[in-house]
């Protein structure tokens, strides 16, 4: 249940570094969201979360960062939050950030997500997803972050950024060239992992038994891929991740610029 607005100055962060970053981001978000186009929800508690939201664009007055809003053309948003246990109030911990904008036309958009020190409530992670308008939705065309995935048959193949989320974010913000090198290196590492799994016959597909009714899911059985299936997935992964490399090579300077425009990390982080 939502409560009365909370004064950010009243919060006592377990980590001084996190508290400093929280207040730096708050100052930046307040500065970047001036003007009548922006709607604002001050800090409130929602369960263990303490968060504020800024929105502009269609349905911004609802201040609801649901999937429909995050995919709608012409929208922009910021959300800043921390976490607490009621028994420890006003002590808080962790940081979570959402920021983004979707193009109304043919330019690129960006969805940024970051969480740190969220304990068992939220955990941690990083997502930097570049989007483009397709029909009446803005859809991701490049997924970066601290984890990278490829779906081969029914196997979800995952690699983790070697230095963790903080180092990965530093690579992407340092310079356009660092952005490019890091993004390309992760695509190469992901392809290498896909090919390793295929080479070890560790990619599987599911086969399903007969549905018996009463809402009980049919049994499923793990099956290894045939050599021909493995080869098809090998070629498909090379094509898919090769196309992602091409997107990076063509647009990395613009992607880097959009990231720093959305969040000027030098002074807001």
- Predicted confidence (pLDDT) per residue in 229-239, tens digit: 999 999 999 99
If asked whether residues 138 and 207 sit together in one domain, one would say no
If asked whether residues 174 and 268 sit together in one domain, one would say yes
Supply the range of the domain harboring residue 118: 1-145
If asked whether residues 210 and 255 sit together in one domain, one would say yes
pLDDT at residue 64 greater than cutoff 90: yes
If asked whether residues 98 and 188 sit together in one domain, one would say no
Number of domains forming the structure of the chain:
2
If asked whether residues 4 and 125 sit together in one domain, one would say yes
Distance CA(65)–CA(199), nearest Å, equals 42
| 90 prior amide bond cis, ω within 30 | yes
Distance CA(183)–CA(259), nearest Å, equals 14
If asked whether residues 137 and 14 sit together in one domain, one would say yes
Q: Which two tokens stand for residue 208?
A: 């399903």
Q: Which two tokens stand for residue 246?
A: 């091409």
Phi/psi at 81 (5° precision): -155, 170
If asked whether residues 213 and 104 sit together in one domain, one would say no
If asked whether residues 206 and 79 sit together in one domain, one would say no
Contact predicate 268/32, CB 8 Å: no
Contact predicate 117/124, CB 8 Å: yes
Please list the residues that pair with 49 across neighbouring strands: 46, 83
Average pLDDT over residues 129-153: 97
Domain boundary residue, one of 145, 167, 192: 145
pLDDT at residue 2 greater than cutoff 50: no
Domain boundary residue, one of 125, 145, 165: 145
Domain boundary residue, one of 145, 164, 180: 145
219-228, long-range: CB within 8 Å, 24+ apart, which pairs?
A: 225/153, 225/198, 225/201
pLDDT in tens, 205-231: 999 888 877 778 888 899 999 999 999
If asked whether residues 257 and 235 sit together in one domain, one would say yes
If asked whether residues 239 and 158 sit together in one domain, one would say yes
Task: Tell if the pTM clears 0.85, that is, is over it.
Answer: yes
If asked whether residues 113 and 154 sit together in one domain, one would say no
Three-class secondary structure of residue 65 per DSSP: coil
pLDDT at residue 1 greater than cutoff 60: no
Average pLDDT of every residue of the chain: 95
Average pLDDT over residues 231-256: 98
pLDDT at 79: 98
Q: Between 126 and 213, whose confidence is greater?
A: 126
Average pLDDT over residues 118-129: 94
Percent of the chain with pLDDT over 90: 90
If asked whether residues 81 and 162 sit together in one domain, one would say no
Please list the residues that pair with 82 across neighbouring strands: 50
| 178 prior amide bond cis, ω within 30 | no
């Amino acid at each position: 249940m939502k409560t009365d607005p909370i004064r950010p100055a009243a919060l006592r962060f377990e980590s001084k570094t996190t508290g400093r970053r929280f207040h730096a981001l708050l100052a930046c978000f307040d500065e970047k969201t001036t003007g009548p186009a922006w709607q604002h929800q001050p800090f409130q508690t929602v369960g263990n979360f303490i968060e504020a939201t800024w929105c502009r664009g269609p349905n911004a007055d609802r201040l609801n960062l649901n999937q429909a809003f995050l995919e709608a053309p012409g929208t922009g948003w910021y959300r800043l939050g921390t976490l607490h246990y009621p028994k420890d109030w006003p002590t808080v911990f962790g940081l979570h950030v959402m920021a983004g904008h979707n193009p109304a036309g043919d330019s690129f958009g960006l969805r940024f997500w970051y969480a740190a020190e969220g304990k068992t409530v939220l955990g941690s992670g990083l997502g930097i997803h570049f989007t483009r308008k397709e029909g009446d939705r803005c859809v991701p065309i490049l997924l970066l972050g601290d984890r990278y995935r490829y779906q081969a048959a029914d196997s979800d193949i995952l690699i983790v950024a070697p230095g963790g989320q903080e180092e990965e974010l530093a690579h992407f913000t340092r310079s356009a060239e660092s952005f490019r090198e890091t993004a390309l290196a992760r695509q190469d590492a992901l392809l290498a992992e896909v090919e390793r799994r295929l080479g070890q016959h560790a990619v599987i597909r599911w086969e399903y038994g007969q549905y018996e009714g009463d809402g009980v899911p049919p049994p499923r059985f793990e099956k290894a891929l045939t050599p021909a299936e493995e080869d098809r997935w090998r070629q498909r992964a090379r094509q898919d991740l090769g196309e992602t490399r091409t997107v990076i090579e063509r647009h990395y300077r613009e992607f880097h610029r959009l990231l720093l425009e959305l969040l000027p990390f030098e002074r807001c982080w």
